[in-house]
A and B are shown apart, each in its own frame.
Chain A
Amino acid sequence: AQSVTQPDARVTVSEGASLQLRCKYSYSGTPYLFWYVQYPRQGLQLLLKYYSGDPVVQGVNGFEAEFIKSNSSFHLRKASVHWSDSAVYFCAVSSNTGYQNFYFGKGTSLTVIP
């Protein structure tokens, strides 16, 4: 069965520090992988996505993620966080055959301390 695990429910970092949000997935086949961000009282917005090719993908606002197939992971990284990055981050996996369904992790709430 498809699933996504985000082991850290909450992460707090200081502004300017580096960031890694963890994501592991379980999927039978080759997945498509996504990171979404949700700001308060808003819907989810796409940060980045991985379909194939270079396992390191760049997203908006300086975010990147690396697909490591051997580890079934797709961790999100940022070199230097800003207070405005405070939000909830969701990792998601979808199928690459037939119609597409998306499975989300439980989310990681990021707080950036100024």
Chain B
Amino acid sequence: GPKVLQIPSHQIIDMGQMVTLNCDPVSNHLYFYWYKQILGQQMEFLVNFYNGKVMEKSKLFKDQFSVERPDGSYFTLKIQPTALEDSAVYFCASTFWGTTGQLYFGEGSKLTVL
């Protein structure tokens, strides 16, 4: 089936550094999402993105977070600077239809902030 690819699968960085998580969504999809998961349980919505713009973001999407997809390349989540509480697994997801599509998820990028 359709695949969402995430790079890297795991990244360890020091607090205060910048990190960029990359997502290669399903090729014809138009809507992109980032979710944050802690301790293998709660899947918390961060942000969604369509037509080059953030459509909705949660309170977890702090000012240090940003997303972009320049020229149809990777959909990226950047955190600058990172904090200890940013340690989590970040999942990228995409869907084609805005109102009836199902989400396709990547396998996650595990971020460890020391």
Q: Which residues of A contact B (CB under 8 A)?
A: 9, 32, 34, 36, 38, 40-46, 49, 51, 88, 90, 92, 95-104, 106-107, 109
Contact = CB atoms under 8 A, between A and B. Distances in A.
Contact of B42 (A36, A45, A101, A107): A107
A100 B45 contact: no
B102 A49 contact: yes
Contacts of A104: 35, 42-45
B103 interface: yes
Interface residues of B, number: 28
Interface of B: 4, 31, 33, 35, 40-45, 48, 50, 55-56, 91, 93, 95, 97-103, 105-108
Contacts of A40: 40
A99 B31 contact: yes
A100 B97 contact: yes
B98 A98 contact: yes
